[in-house]
Structure 1
Amino acid sequence: MEKTRPAAMTGRQRLVLVVLLTAQFMLAVDFSILGVALPVIGEGLGFGLGALQWIATGFALAAAGFTLLSGRVADLFGRRRLFLGGMAVLGLSSLAGGLAQTPEVLLSARVVQGLATAVVTPAGLALLTTAFQGPLRAKALGLNGALMSAGFTAGSILGGLLTDLLSWRWAFFINVPVALFVLIAAPMLLTESRPATREKLDVPGAVTVTGGLLALVYALTRAGEHGFADPVALGGFALGAVLLAAFWAIEKRQANPLVPVRILKRRTVVWGNLAGLIAFATETSLVFLLTLYLQKVLGYSALATGLSFGVLGAGTVIGGVFAPKVIARLGTRAALVAGLAVQAASTVPLFFLGTGSGWLPVLLVATFAGGVGNMVAIVGFMVTATSGLPDAEQGLATGLATMTQQVGITLGIPVMSAVVAAHPESVLNGVTIAVAVNAALVVLGLVTSRAFLRKHG
C-alpha cells in the first residue's frame, strides 16, 4: 500500500496556486454561466430560436477544437506567455460580449471566449503541473479539480442571480476584473517554461486534429438537437473520423509531430483519458437529466433547480480536497477506480426516482456522494494522464487531458438527450432509462481502468 506524507507548500507556491486556480475557476464558470440567461439574451438582442443555441455551441466548438493545438503551442513558445495572452483575450472578449448590441457581435465574442479558454486552460494546467511535484502536484490538481467542478455548478447559480438582479450582461462583465487580477499578479509569480531549442510546429497535424475535433463536437451538438440519425450529424461524424485518422497517419511520419505516437500508446494516456472522458461526460449529463426531472416532473423553477445542485458542488469540493489523500493512501489507479465505484453506486438509486417530492432527499444525498466520487476519479485521471512525461511535454499532456474534459462535457448531454427523446411517452421514463445508461458508462470506465492501468500508474 502506497503511503506518502504530503509536503508543505511554500508561501510563493500558495500564491502561484491562488492565481492559477482563480483563472481555472473563472473558465469553469464560463461554461455554464450563460445557460439560464439564454432566453433573456434572445429577447434582448433579437436572437431567433434556432440561433440561440449557438451562444453555447460556438463557445464549445472553439474551446474543444483548439485545446490540443494550444497545449502544444504553449510547450513550444512558452506557457506563461500563452497563459497571459489568453487571459488578456478572454478579458477583452468578455467586455465585448457584455457591451454587444447585435447577435453577431455577441456570437463573435463568445467564440473568441472559447478560443481564449482553449489557450488558457492547458497552459495554466501545464504551469501548475510543472510548478508542483509528487504529492504536492496531486494536492494542487485536487484543488484545481474541486474548484473547476464547483465552477460548473456555481456558473448556473451565478448566471441566474446576475440575470435576475442586474442584467445578463454581467455574466460577461464579471470576467473582466478577474482577468485583470490574474494579469497583474501572474507576471510577478509565474516563471516562463519552454524548451531551449524550439521545434517546428506540425502544421498538417494541427490542421487535421483541429478540423477533426471541430467536426466531432459539431456533430455531437447537432445530434443532441436533431437526433443521431440526422444526415448533417452523420456527415460531421464521418468527416471527424476521416480527419482524425489522417492525423494519426501524419503523426506516425512526422519528424516533430504535434502528438508523438509513443505518447498516444502509453497506457496512462490512453486509459487515463478514457476514464476522464467518461467521468466528465456522465456527471455533466447527469446534471442535465436531473434538471429535466426537477423542472418537468417536480415542477421546480430554474433558480430552485440550480440551488438544488449546491449539494453536488459541495460534494465535488470535498472530493477534490480529499482526493490527494486517497491517492497517497491507495495509489492513483485504485483511487480512480474507487471514485468511479462511488459515482456508479450513487447513480443507481436515481433510477428509482418517482413523481413525488419525497424523492428529493434521495436525489440530494445521491448527487452529493456522486460528486465526491466523481471528483476523486477526475483528480485520479489528471494525475494519471500527466504522469511519466517530462516537463517539456506537460503542455501536450494537459492539452490532451483538457481536450478530454471539454469533449466529455460536450459529448454527454447529446447522448443522454437522445436517450430521453427516444421515450417521448414520459419524461420520467426517459430520464430514468438515461440514468441507467449513465451508470453503465461509469461502470465501463471503472472496469477498463482496473483492467488496463498499472496498479500505481
Structure 2
Amino acid sequence: MSVTDTEAAGTAPGTAVGTAPEALTPRLRLVLVLLLSTQFMLAVDFAILNVALPVIGKDLGFSIAHLTWIATSFALCAAGFTLLFGRVADLFGRRRLFLWGLVVLGAASLVGGLAQNPAMLITARVLQGLATAAVTPAALSLMTTSFPEGPLRQKALGLNGALMSSGFTTGAVLGGVLTDLLSWRWAFFINVPVALTVLIIAPRVIKESRPDERPELDLPGAVSVTLGLLAVVFGLTRAGQNGWGSATALLSLVAGALLLAVFYAVERKVSAPLVPLSVLGKRSVAWGNLAGLIAFLTETSLVFPLTLYLQDVLGFSPLTAGLSFGVLGLGTVTGGFTAARVIGRIGTKRTLIVGGILQTVFTAALLGLGQDRSSMWLMLVASFIGGVGNMLVIVSFMVTATSGLADHEQGLATGLATMTQQVGITMGTPIMSAVATAAMVGTGASAMLGGLKAAIAVNAAIVLLGLLTSAVFLRGDRSAAR
C-alpha cells in the first residue's frame, strides 16, 4: 500500500476517508512517533516543575504567595485557549499550527531556562501554556485524521493516552532528578532539542490539511469561550489555594459561568459558529467528553490525598512517595497499551464501562487504608488496577469523542477533548483539597486519615457517576460509540 496524503496527515475536508489501512506503513509509523513524542513532552511539562518550585523560588526571588503562579499561569493558558486553537487548526491548517506552536514552545523553554527574575519566568510559562494549547489539539487532530476510524486509530489513541499519563509521572520524577543533579533550568532546556528535532522532521512527513475555502472566524464566540474558560480555571485554582469561600474564587467562577452562557447564546445565532451546536448535540461528543472530564478529574486528583497519606500519615520521604506513584503510572501505561485490543474485542462503550468499574472499585478499596505501613500493599495494588481502568476510560473517551465526525471537524473535536483534559486536571485537586480539609476533625495522623478518606470516597462517587451516565446515555458499537 502506498502512503498517501490521507495516510500521512488526513484527507482534505469533505473528502472520503476511504478504507482504513490495516497496518502501519513506515511513513505512518514516523508520523505517529513524532506526534506521540510531542504529546509526551507536553505531558511532562505539566508536572516537571512541581518538585523544583521551592528551589526556583529561592533562586529567582519568588515570594511564597506568588510561587503558585509558576503552575497557575501555565494551566490558565493551556486550558483556556485549547478550544480556540483547536478550531483555528481546522480553519488555517493543522500542520501549520502544530509547527508554529512548537516554535513558540522551544523559544519559551529557552527563555524559561535563562530566566533571571520572576517576570521573565512567568512570561515563559504563559508562552509554554499557549504553545501547549495550540500543539495539543493540532497534534491530536493530525493523529485522528492520519488514522481513519478503526483499529489503527484506536491503537494510536491508546498509545497517546498511555504516553500522556506516563508523562505526568515522568515529569515529577524527571523534575526531581534534573534539579538534584544539574539545575531546575534543565527542566526547561530539555524541551529545546526535542522541539527542534520534531520541527526538522515533521515538515517532511506530515502533510498539511486545510479547508478549500476559509470560513469566517467566530470572534465573539472565541472571545467569550476563552474568557469564560480562563475565569473558570482561575476560580478553581484560587479555590484550591484559598478555599471555596474565597471571594476571588467565587466571583471568578460566577463570571466564567456567565461568559460560557454568553458563548452558548452566541453560537446559536452566528452563521459560522466556533462550535456548531450540531456537534455538541452528538451523544458521542457530549457524553464522551463528560466521561473524559471525570476520568481526568478523578485519577489526577487522587495523587493529592495519597501524597499526604504517604508522607503525613505513614511518614515516608517525598522521594519514596514520588517513586510509589510509579506503580500508578505503570497501571496507566498498561491500560493504554491494552485499550485498543480491548476495544476491538468488546467495543468502545463496553470498554469504557469496564474501565469505569475497575476505577470505581479500586478507588473505593483505598478506603481500607490504615495508619501503619502494612497498608502499602493495598495502596500499590489499588492504584495500579485503578490506573489500568482509568486509562481504558480515557482511550475510550478519545475514540468516542472524535468518532462520527467529518475530517474538517476533527480540530474542533480534538480541541474539545483537549479542553476537557486540561479542565479536568485543573479541577480535581482543588475539589479533593477542599473535601479533605472540611472533613478533618482535630489534629494528628488519625484526623488527617479521616479527611483523606473523605476525599477518596468523593473521588470514587464521582467515578461512579461517570460510569452510570456513560452506561445510560452512550450508544454502544463494536468499534466506536456514535
Shorter-chain TM-score bucket reads over 0.9
The worse-fitting range, judged by mean Cα deviation, of 173-182 and 119-128 is 173-182
Aligned to 2:32: 17
Q: Secondary structure at the match of 2:222?
A: helix
Aligned-pair identity in percent equals 65
- Report the equivalent of 1:357: 373
Deviation, 1:423, is 2.7
SS in 2 for 1:47: coil
> What amino acid is the match of 2:127?
V
How far apart, in 2, do the equivalents of 1:172 and 1:266 lie? 40
Tell me the distance in 1 between the aligned counterparts of 2:206 and 2:426.
31
Alpha-carbon distance between aligned partners in 2 of 1:178 and 1:306, rounded to the nearest angstrom: 25
Which whole-Å CA distance do the structure 1 matches of 2:415 and 2:212 have between them? 21
Give the aligned partner of residue 224 of structure 2.
Answer: 208
Task: Give the equivalent residue in structure 1 for 2:43.
Answer: 28
Provide the residue aligned with 1:45 in structure 2: 60
Alignment of 1:288-327 (within 5 A): 288-327=304-343
1:441 to 435, 454, 462: 462
**Separation (CA, whole Å) in 1 of partners of 2:270 and 2:152:** 36
CA distance 1:440–1:6, shift in 2 (3 Å): farther
Alpha-carbon shift at residue 59 of structure 1 (Å): 0.2
Superimposed CA distance per residue, residues 341-385 of structure 1 (whole angstroms, 9 cap, x where no aligned partner): 111111111112111111111111111101111001000000000
Secondary structure (helix, strand or coil) at the match of 1:196 reads coil
The answer as to whether partners of 1:6 and 1:135 remain within 8 angstroms in 2 is no
Distance 1:296 1:44 in 2: 28
Matched, 1:117 2:132: yes
Q: Distance in 2 between matches of 1:372 and 1:176?
A: 32
| Counterpart-to-counterpart distance in 2, 1:329 and 1:106 | 48
Question: Normalising by structure 2, what TM-score?
Answer: 0.93
* Cα-to-partner distance string for 1:217-261 (whole Å, 9 max, x where unaligned): 000001111111211111011100110000000000010000001
How far the C-alpha of 1:294 sits from its partner, in A, is: 0.8
Task: Give TM-score, length-normalised by structure 1.
Answer: 0.98
Q: Give yes or no for the alignment of 1:131 onto 2:146.
A: yes
Partner of residue 431, structure 1: 452
Question: 1:157 — aligned with what?
Answer: 173
How far 1:302 sits from its partner (Å)?
1.8
Give me the CA root mean square deviation: 1.0
User: Which string of whole-angstrom CA distances, capped at 9 and with x for unpartnered residues, describes residues 372-402 of structure 1?
Assistant: 1100100000000000000001000000000
Judge conservation of contact 1:312–1:367 (CA < 8 Å) in 2.
Answer: yes
Aligned to 1:264: 280
1:81-120 matches, cutoff 5 A = 81-120=96-135
**Mapped partners of 2:208, 2:311: distance in 1:** 48
* Matched AA of 1:290: L
SS in 2 for 1:36: coil
Task: Give the drift of 1:7.
Answer: 2.6
**Structure 1 residue 188 corresponds to structure 2 residue 219:** no
For structure 1, the residue ranges without an aligned partner over 5 or more in a row are none
Listed one character per residue, the Cα deviations across residues 36-75 of structure 1 (whole Å, up to 9, x for unaligned) are 1101111111100000000000000000000000000000
Residue 259 of structure 1 aligns to a residue in which SS? coil
SS of equivalent residue, structure 1 residue 316: helix
Range with bigger deviation, 221-230 or 109-118: 221-230
For the residue of structure 2 that corresponds to 1:422, the secondary structure is helix
Correspondent of 1:231 among 242, 247, 258: 247
Give the aligned residue type for 2:42: L
- The CA deviation at 1:6 is 9.2
Q: Size of the alignment, in residue pairs?
A: 453
